[in-house]
Structure 1
Amino acid sequence: MSAPHVLVLTGAHDPHADRVRGLLAGRGARTTVFDNRDHLTSAHFELAYTARGLTRRLLHTASGTLDLDGLTALWWRRPSPHAAHPGLTDPAVAAYTAGESEHLVTDLWEHLPCRQVPARESVLRRAAGKPSQLALAAELGFEIPETLIATRADALWDFANRHDGRIVTKPMGKPWVENLAAGHTVTRHCEIVPARDLAYAGALRFCPVIAQQYVPKRLELRVTVVGRRVFAAEIHSQESNRSAVDWRRYDFEATPYGVHRLPGEVAGRCLAMTERLGLAFGAFDLILTPDGRYVFLEVNPNGQWLWAEELTGLPISEAVCDLLLEGA
């Protein structure tokens, strides 16, 4: 019987992938790393069909040829966007070829018959939708913050008035804006809306945001579901003014972290939601309120976990390794 072989889709400098690849190697598994941007430059695909159908799916790289139908698992970590060959100087031609590469590779990954973690890319896209996450969370019994998603200023003003101005906003999708001309990136966290900013609510017509009532916090929780295992890390974000509204404004020296004993019914809801979304992995953000209520914020279908593992000792990487080898 041949050794398990895992294809890892990720970009350069991914410590999460490096940690798990080391664990996989220790168990005798082979790993191959591929980044989408390498297609058309240092790597090439070959798909062949006869009149009766598909005969081979191969990936050629500098290190050799990989039979994609021989994979036991594909791990969709964090691959880079598709890129054109650097030899193409016409922007329109470069954009077209990058798009053609994306069509090929996206469809190829979608139909590989091996286990895919956290899920197939089409499932990951659907699972990341925050409006549908909120509806599903409430259906499964989670408490969620009162929420408004709109592009009308008067709707936001009414929402703010109902909550005495104690509201926060956060982005619908990716939490950063890249300014390529200036060469820097602006990160958009969850933020309290000052009264003066409500005067500019008319700008909502240009871009929707999620507005929510501010939920008081005793703790914030990052709950990582890997297969049927649940790992809960507690974040004492209220110990630091920097992290009080959003723990991702890290203040490691002032913010204690620890393992959290999650009630069985809350863990069960996390497992049920991960399953309903079609995922084998999910990183949940929850709030524990001062009066002991667990409030759902969102789930990242492909969230980071290494920081929680290193700060709390939770064996999340081992669980990811188990999941990638399951059934091999």
Structure 2
Amino acid sequence: MPSPHVLVLTGEDDPHADRVGALLAERGARVTVFDPGGFPVSWRVEVGYAADGRMTRLLRGGAEEIALDTVTALWWRRPSPPAPHPELTDPAVAAHAAKECQSLLSDLWEHLPCPQLPARESVWRRSGQKASQLALAAELGFAVPDTLITTDPESFFAFHERHDGRVITKTFHIPFIEGVGDGLTVTRLSEPVSPRDLAYADGLRFCPMIVQERVDKRLELRVTVVGRRIFAAEIHSQVSNRSAVDWRRYDTRVTPHRPHRLPDDVAARCLTLMERLGLTYGAIDLILTPEGRHVFLEVNPNAQWLWVEHLTGLPISEAICEHLLRGA
């Protein structure tokens, strides 16, 4: 029986992929790491359709040739998008070529005949929509924050007043904008609405925003799901002013992280949520309120976990390794 062959799609300097890749190699698996950002400069892709219906799918990089039909599991980590070939100097032509490269790869992965973690691209991209996640979570019985999604400044002001100014804002997608002004990167995580924000609320006309009531927290929960296994970690974000609104302003030196046992009904709800989203991996963010309610915030299908593993001892990397070995 051939050994497992795991194809990892990720960019450079990914310690999460390195950690799991080392575990896979220890167990005798073949691990291929492919960064789409190196296509078409460093890698070549070939797909063939024979008259008798046979297909060939090949990756070539340097002297290495990989028959993709030998892949037993595909792992979406943090792939970078294809970059245009540097010999293409016309911006429009370069952009067109990059889109063509992306279209080829997306179609290639979508129809690769092996299990994929967290899911096929079409599934995990759709599953990452925050508004749809909130609707599904509420349907499954999670408490969710009172939420407004709008481009109307007047609706925003009314929502702000209804909650006595205790509201936060968040983005739909990645919480940063690259290349602003002189190449700066502007980051906006979950933020409390300030008087200054109110003065600029007219800007909602140009871009939608998610606005939510600010939910009181006893602590926050990072619930990492791998297949049917749940790894819940407490993040005591309220002990630090830095992390109180959004724990992604990491203050791990003073913010305790501990393993957590979810109530059975909440754990079952988490598994059902992942199943309905079509995901075999993801991190669910919950608030545990002072009254003991579990309030759903969002699911990240490509979430990081090493810092949780390091601080709590939860064996998340081992679980991902085992899942990939079985076929994701």
Is TM (by shorter chain) over 0.5?
Answer: yes
In the alignment, what sits opposite 1:250?
A: 250
CA distance in 2, matches of 1:52, 1:188: 54
Deviates more, 1:248-257 or 1:190-199: 190-199
Deviates more, 1:56-65 or 1:300-309: 56-65
Instruction: Number of aligned residue pairs: give it.
Output: 328
CA distance in 1, matches of 2:270, 2:229: 10
Q: Note the C-alpha offset of 1:181.
A: 5.6
Q: Deviations over 1:215-255 (max 9, x none)?
A: 00000111000000000111111101111100011112221
CA distance in 2, matches of 1:198, 1:151: 14
CA distance in 2, matches of 1:122, 1:11: 20
In the alignment, what sits opposite 1:320?
A: 320
For structure 1, the 5+ residue unaligned runs are none
In the alignment, what sits opposite 1:79?
A: 79
CA distance in 1, matches of 2:66, 2:243: 45
In the alignment, what sits opposite 1:277?
A: 277
Deviates more, 1:187-196 or 1:177-186: 177-186
Pair 168,46 (structure 1): closer, same or farther in 2 beyond 3 Å: same
For 1:11, the aligned partner's letter is G
CA distance in 2, matches of 1:8, 1:265: 34
For 1:287, the aligned partner's letter is I
In the alignment, what sits opposite 1:206?
A: 206
Pair 250,316 (structure 1): closer, same or farther in 2 beyond 3 Å: same
CA distance in 1, matches of 2:97, 2:249: 38
Q: Note the C-alpha offset of 1:86.
A: 1.4
In the alignment, what sits opposite 1:156?
A: 156
Matches within 5 A, 1:1-328: 1-179=1-179, 182-327=182-327
Maintained 8 Å contact 1:165/1:195 = no
Maintained 8 Å contact 1:169/1:209 = yes
For 2:126, the aligned partner's letter is R
SS in 2 for 1:78: coil
CA distance in 1, matches of 2:10, 2:202: 39
Runs of 4+ deviating beyond 4 Å: none
Q: Note the C-alpha offset of 1:63.
A: 4.3
SS in 2 for 1:259: strand
Maintained 8 Å contact 2:11/2:78 = yes
Maintained 8 Å contact 1:220/1:235 = yes
The CA RMSD measured in Å over matched residues stands at 1.2
Maintained 8 Å contact 1:283/1:300 = yes
TM-score (norm 2): 0.98
Q: Deviations over 1:157-199 (max 9, x none)?
A: 1111111111000001111110266233221110110234223
Q: Percent identity?
A: 65
Pair 160,244 (structure 1): closer, same or farther in 2 beyond 3 Å: same
CA distance in 2, matches of 1:163, 1:15: 41
For 1:325, the aligned partner's letter is L
Q: Deviations over 1:230-286 (max 9, x none)?
A: 001111111011111000111122211111111111111111000000000110110
CA distance in 2, matches of 1:45, 1:196: 51
Q: Note the C-alpha offset of 1:22.
A: 0.4
For structure 2, the 5+ residue unaligned runs are none
Deviates more, 1:24-33 or 1:52-61: 52-61
SS in 2 for 1:53: coil
Deviates more, 1:40-49 or 1:11-20: 40-49
Maintained 8 Å contact 2:114/2:327 = no
For 2:76, the aligned partner's letter is W
For 2:134, the aligned partner's letter is L
